[in-house]
Amino acid sequence: MLIICTGCGVAVEPHSILYHLRNLHNVKKPKLLQSHLDDLCNEYCIPAKFLPIQGPIPQIQGLALYRNGLQCEHCGFLSAQRDVITKHHHKMHVKEGPKAQAKEIALQRLSSLPDSKRYFTVLLAQAPAGLNVEVQNLRHKCDAAYTSFGPSNNEDRTVSPWLLTTRWHEHVAKYDSQKLRQLVEFPNQNEASLARLEKGVLAVMMGGMNLIVKTPVLVLQELNSPDPVKQ
């Protein structure tokens, strides 16, 4: 299991996460503690150091994908760049001919750092045919819902399908909107007690995620079913 920065398309070792956020994403004060990260890594058995990967393996979602990677046909050397393959051929296989012989193949690598920049071959992920049908059906339902509730123009006053489904506006209509906005503001310097809620909220979230795999399928189906009260 890996920790992957989806913004960069690279894997990050646990001890480097805060450094990565500060120096590559300009997050000067990440709202994370290394102790929290260590606990999560221990819980999900994420190793402290990258383990060597020998392809081919299924594509790792989130990592940058090089669909037109190249593999030397003489020794299997891998690179995403044609000039690197050419230099490799001239250095290692010049006796086999003046032109580099390489085949295109899908590649990934953990990161561009010296210890983890080695490419490995991957098998491209393919969505099951049934999933594509389900996605198409869902899109048709969303389109139908959108066209059924009101005008087709994109005015700011147009009610969204999400709002019609949740009826959130009806739930909060009886409350003062200014007070509601104040409730969701970030704690200020005089509200230090609220800042300590971070660990509690994180613990509740992780506890809920752990319960998903233990919850019976019928219960999950009931939770995901539309609320009959809102029909």
Tens-digit pLDDT profile for residues 199-214: 777 788 888 888 887 8
H or E element in which residue 67 lies: strand 66-72
Model pTM score? 0.51
- 121 — pLDDT class (breaks 50, 70, 90): very high
Tens-digit pLDDT profile for residues 53-81: 888 899 998 899 999 999 999 899 999 99
Q: How far is CA 42 from CA 21, 47, 209, in A?
A: 21, 8, 16
H or E element in which residue 186 lies: none
- Segment 143-155 shows an average pLDDT of 53
Q: What are phi and psi of 6, to 5 degrees?
A: -70, -20
Q: Judge contact between 63 and 4, C-beta under 8 A.
A: yes
For every residue of 133-183, DSSP letters joined together read HHHHHHHHHHHHHHHHHS-SS--TTSPPHHHHHH-HHHHHTTS-HHHHHHH
Residue that wins the pLDDT comparison between 198 and 168: 168
